Amino acid sequence: MQRETQAGSSRRAFLKVAATAAVAAPYVITSGALGGNGRPPASERITMGFIGVGTQGGGHLLGGAWTYVPGGYLARPDVQILGVCDVRKERRESVTRRVEDYYGKKGRDGAYKGCEAYLDFRELLARDDIDAVLIGTPIHWHAMMTTMAARAGKDVYCEKPTALTVSESRAVVETVRRYGRVFQAGTQQRSEYGGKYRLACELVRSGRIGQLKEVYAYERGGGYAWNKSFGPGKPNPDPKAWDLYLGPAPDQPYDGNFDAHRFGNGGINWGQHHYDIVQWGIPGADDADPVELDVKGDRSVMRYASGVTVHGAPYPDPSLGLGPKVKFQGEGGVVFVGTEGKIAVDRQQIQANPTDILQRPLTPDDQRLYFAQSHSGNFIECVKTRKRTICDVGSSHRSAKLLLLAGIVETLKRPLKWDGAAERFVGDDEANRMLSVAYRAPWRM
């Protein structure tokens, strides 16, 4: 209730300031702020800022292949975009113009000047009229920006990976919970794709394949790599932008490449999608970590105390007994293997062997999981209601941790024992050093 009151006060304060400005400059606030045509008044909208508006973040804002809502957050009538941040000047200014053009065309006045472009994300976070932020920056920024946003009183939708190290992920959990923020990870397979992943996990948890024995994640582990090579250096037209791109990463000569995944390795980009479904499908895994880790070839093998084994690799028989065209090596593929059958799911299909596993509907006695049909919409709903999201900070920590532990054992290429309660490897200093990373001053968590 306190959060809702503060959010409402922030929006009302914003309207008051904007209305005052409108006396001197009528184009500052439009009649659209009053609502109408199915759009709620501005005092009832969730105000958002977007940090990083390239392919991923820009897709969320304007509509993209992975946002599944035409027009993205901009087209949502219950959202108002107040700020856009990106280290690339042409990108942030172009997106800001598109936001203002869209709102201008929607309003009766035909003009709108209410979205600010920022180079430095800290200026956006300092605004008390912004309720929530979406973080679509280079991956080495995700955890730090999430904690800074939470401390600034913002709810957070953060793209994957949500962290580059286990200690970063733990810091995100503690900070989000300490400040009472709503958090959504951008691992949208729990919400989208016609509910295929949810159905697969419900069937597994309900015992339709007997006792679960193995899970194949189709993606290797991931982690960070601060020592990525840079070019010889070029004349830098905007040193501040480059410094903000690097952020906590080591100082490097400017080479003009603002790659979002530059400081990651292994499956760090795609992996959290896969391991999120692995974690969702294993009974009891919401509250458990693997206890033993090893490698088979160059891929991870992780065993839970329950006996379930997770492989960071494709299932060895591509057909699964379902025919030669079934590969399950596409987007987000996971295969669950039990004592009485198998279930395979990716973004395109769900299959089972025997096939009647999918033909028998779930009953009221079967286990059901969190239901959401729109990942972006689930975030906004939870910002309003203060309920936990479908990919909340706790489940996201488990998924990120599984991915990162797989990356560590694949790097060291030897057996490891993991103490989930302490979040430390047992008797292995070298492995424990890989749980955290040093940051470039003045950045710190």
Tell me: the pLDDT tens digits for 186-200?
Answer: 999 999 999 999 999
Beta-carbon contacts of 354 under 8 Å, excluding residues fewer than 6 positions away, are: 341
Would you place residue 25 in the very low, low, confident or very high pLDDT band (cuts 50, 70, 90)? very low
Q: Encode pLDDT of 408-443 as tens digits.
A: 999 999 999 999 999 999 999 999 999 999 999 999
- By the 8 A CB rule, do 396 and 62 touch? no
Partner residues linked to 418 by β-bridges: 425
DSSP string, 154-189: -EEEEPSPS-SSHHHHHHHHHHHHHTT--EEES-GG
Beta-carbon contacts of 323 under 8 Å, excluding residues fewer than 6 positions away, are: none
Q: What is the mean pLDDT of residues 215-238?
A: 89
Q: What is the mean pLDDT of residues 263-275?
A: 95
pLDDT of residue 365: 93
**325, pLDDT greater than 60:** no
Q: Encode pLDDT of 37-74 as tens digits.
A: 556 777 789 999 999 999 999 999 999 877 777 899 99
Q: What is the mean pLDDT of residues 237-250?
A: 97
pLDDT of residue 34: 46
Q: Encode pLDDT of 120-150 as tens digits.
A: 999 999 999 999 999 999 999 999 999 999 9
pLDDT of residue 228: 74
Amino acid at 437: V
Q: How far apart are CA 160 and CA 272, in angstroms?
A: 7
pLDDT of residue 36: 52
pLDDT of residue 281: 97
pLDDT of residue 38: 58
pLDDT of residue 275: 97
- By the 8 A CB rule, do 337 and 216 touch? yes
Beta-carbon contacts of 294 under 8 Å, excluding residues fewer than 6 positions away, are: 300, 301, 302, 409, 414, 415, 416
pLDDT of residue 328: 57
pLDDT of residue 13: 45
**156, pLDDT greater than 60:** yes
DSSP alpha helix (H) spans, 262-374: 271-281, 356-359
Looking at per-residue pLDDT, the higher value among 147 and 30 belongs to: 147
Q: How far apart are CA 147 and CA 379, in angstroms?
A: 18
Would you place residue 171 in the very low, low, confident or very high pLDDT band (cuts 50, 70, 90)? very high
pLDDT of residue 37: 54
**248, pLDDT greater than 50:** yes
Domain ranges of the chain: 2-137
Q: How far apart are CA 172 and CA 184, in angstroms?
A: 12
pTM: 0.90
**329, pLDDT greater than 60:** no
For 388, the token pair is: 């936990």
- Decide: helix, strand or coil at residue 345: strand
Q: Out of 3.40.1130, 3.30.70, 3.40.50, 2.40.30, which CATH number does the structure's domain 2-137 have?
A: 3.40.50
Would you place residue 348 in the very low, low, confident or very high pLDDT band (cuts 50, 70, 90)? confident
**82, pLDDT greater than 70:** yes
CB neighbourhood size of 90 (10 A): 8
What is the residue-averaged pLDDT of the chain? 89
**3, pLDDT greater than 60:** no
Alpha-carbon distances, residue 250 vs 223, 236, 379 (angstroms): 16, 17, 33
Amino acid at 367: Q
Beta-carbon contacts of 111 under 8 Å, excluding residues fewer than 6 positions away, are: 27, 30, 104
| φ, ψ for residue 193, nearest 5 deg | 65, 40
- By the 8 A CB rule, do 387 and 180 touch? no
pLDDT of residue 23: 32
**27, pLDDT greater than 50:** no
pLDDT of residue 103: 95
